[in-house]
Amino acid sequence: MIISGKELSARMKADMAAEVAALGTKYGRVPHLVVLLVGDDPGSVSYVTGKAKACDAVGIRNTTIRRPADTTEEEVLRIIAELNADEGVDGILVQLPLPRHISEERVIAAIGREKDVDGFHPLNVAALWMKQPCTLPCTPKGILRMLHTAGVELEGRRAVVVGRSNIVGLPVAKLLLDANATVTVAHSRTRGLADVTRGAEILVVAIGRPRFITGDMISEGAVVIDVGVNRDPETGRLCGDVDFETASSKASYITPVPGGVGPMTIACLMENTIECFRRKKER
Ligand code: NDP
């Protein structure tokens, strides 16, 4: 069975469009997301375009601020301070990666926590790990939503997360743990990775290696969530970290690339923007 992020995110966006229209009527304006893009990395440009399109579909007002790659860190911080102070801005997203001369850490920490739609601010990260209310990072949130919608039982089950990045691996492991799964986190230093992944009833892969996890590394009936977005070195086409062809004959559920986790990430970004707006208006 394929878990289609494309279909699920389309349903979420339709529901959110109605919600945003109602918010607009109630409060006299709709949520407003500002995306800051520094430089012209083609991947980042395409992500930013995708986010703007999703905002349009949902009815969220969106502004993209573009600055050249040689913009200074001071200038980026100045723009963020301005957006923090602007009552008409509900969400701020800085597209990553930033050019190397700019500290991502400092920039993310400068975003007002209440406008941090990515859930990357240190206070939001801390709140997640302390089980306090917070804005959840979009990709892990989308993954949990997919598992939930597909009716995958998590409680008491063996989940393996391959990858331990701050934006995907670690937070998804925490959310699975909160859902009472028994979680193992594997990474580039893990010995006998195939034995670890074969022990998974639920396998989440976020490593950035094209088609790295093959069918023989997956146990019969496992649920496989493929987060990777890579270019296949042979065909040049988009592919995941999981070899879909061999993995899909073993898995009970699997997410495709494209059309899996990617669209869910964007739908959850829309949700987070609406949540930030609501929190501000309803406090
Ligand atoms: P990072 O590069 O930050 O982290 C990669 C992780 O994978 C690291 O923890 C690394 O281990 C681990 N890893 C790398 N190689 C191996 C290996 N051979 N065996 C086991 N573990 C390995 O990546 P991200 O988490 O940011 O992204 C991962 C993938 O997900 C990328 O393809 C990215 O494009 C995609 N992505 C997709 C999103 C979506 O919405 N669909 C959103 C975000 C990311 P170690 O810590 O030891 O170095």
Arithmetic mean of pLDDT, 111-137: 98
- Mutate which of 46, 227, 264 for ligand 1? The one with the most ligand atoms within 8 Å of its CB, which is 227
Residues constituting the chain: 283
Say how far apart CA 170 and CA 3 lie, in whole Å: 22
**Beta-carbon contacts of residue 87 (< 8 Å; ≥ 6 apart):** none
> In terms of C-beta density within 10 A (0-12 exposed, 13-18 middle, 19 or more buried), how is residue 115 classed?
buried
For 254, the enclosing helix (H) or strand (E) is strand 253-254
Nearest-angstrom CA–CA distance, 69 and 263: 27
- The answer to whether residue 51 is catalytic is yes
Structural tokens at position 231: 């270019």
Q: What pLDDT score was predicted for residue 16?
A: 98
Best CA proximity match to 140, nearest among 122, 157, 159, 118: 118
* HSE of 264, CA atoms in CB hemisphere, 13 A: 27
Amino acid at 53: K
Long-range contacts of 167-173 (CB under 8 A, 24+ apart): 167/120, 167/137, 167/139, 168/137, 168/139, 168/140, 168/206, 168/227, 169/204, 169/206, 171/119, 171/125, 171/128, 171/136, 171/137, 171/140, 172/139, 172/140, 172/143, 172/144, 172/204, 172/206
Q: What percent of the chain has a predicted confidence (pLDDT) above 70?
A: 100
Average pLDDT taken over every residue of the chain? 97
Evaluate whether 80 touches 64 at the Cβ level (below 8 Å).
no
Token pair 């094209």: residue: 210
pLDDT for the residue numbered 283:
82
Q: Which residue has the tokens 């109602």?
A: 22
Which residue's CA is minimally distant from atom 40 of ligand 1? 262
- Choice among 90, 116, 118, 243 that is catalytic: 118
- Which one-letter DSSP state was computed for residue 14? H
Q: How far is the CA of 161 from the centre of ligand 1 (A)?
A: 10
Residue the block writes with tokens 């949520």: 31
What pLDDT shows up at residue 181?
98
| The pLDDT of residue 90 | 98
User: DSSP secondary structure string, 140-207?
Assistant: HHHHHHHHHHTT---TT-EEEEE---TTTHHHHHHHHHHTT-EEEEE-TT-TTHHHHHHT-SEEEE-S
Report pLDDT digits (tens) over 63-104. 999 999 999 999 999 999 999 999 999 999 999 999 999 999
How much of the chain, in percent, has pLDDT values that exceed 90?
99
118: annotated active-site residue: yes
Among 187, 181, 126, 145, smallest CA distance to 162 is for 187
pLDDT digits (tens, 9 = 90+) for 129-183: 999 999 999 999 999 999 999 999 999 999 999 999 999 999 999 999 999 999 9
- Under DSSP, is residue 128 helix (H, G, I), strand (E, B) or coil? helix
Residue 190 CA: which ligand 1 atom is closest?
20
* Residue whose CA is at the smallest distance from ligand 1 atom 16: 188
d(CA 161, CA 59): 35
Give ligand 1 pocket residues (Cβ under 6 A). Answer: 139, 162-165, 167-169, 186-190, 193, 206-209, 227-230, 261-262, 265
Report the pLDDT value the prediction gives residue 115, as an integer from 0 to 100. 98
Six token digits for residue 247: 């993995």
Whole-prediction pTM: 0.98
Q: Is the pLDDT confidence value at 55 over 90?
A: yes
228: how many CB neighbours lie within 10 A of its CB?
24
